[in-house]
Amino acid sequence: CVDYRRLNQITTKDAFPLPRIDDIYDQLTTATYFTKFDFNAGYFQVPLDKSDRPKTAFSIRDGHFQFKVLPQGLTNGPPTFQRIVNQILGPN
């Protein structure tokens, strides 16, 4: 597990709004169809720009590594992922 607290402190925060659970429940009351999505490892489906990969670098006994995909723990991970979900599914 990589601790990204120092990186998060100097990161410009993405202000993309995350949905509120009570708003989601309100939308469900008028829905006709329901579906379920499994977002297991969803962040790992989001590629990182090559210029951002060194920011995720870490070292372990076996060597030095950096993520090619969005790792857990970055402050802008949730808004980035939510933006992609909204683009795929639409805003409502």
The model's pTM is 0.82
Quick one: pLDDT at residue 38? 86
Residue 42 exposed, middle or buried by CB count within 10 Å (0-12, 13-18, 19+): middle
For 80, the domain range is 5-89
66: Cα within 13 Å, side-chain hemisphere: 12
Range in 5-9, 68-72, 86-90 with the lowest mean pLDDT: 86-90
- Mean pLDDT confidence for 74-90: 93
39-78 confidence digits (pLDDT tens):
888 999 999 999 999 999 999 999 999 999 999 999 999 9
Quick one: pLDDT at residue 92? 60
Tell me how many domains the chain contains. Answer: 1
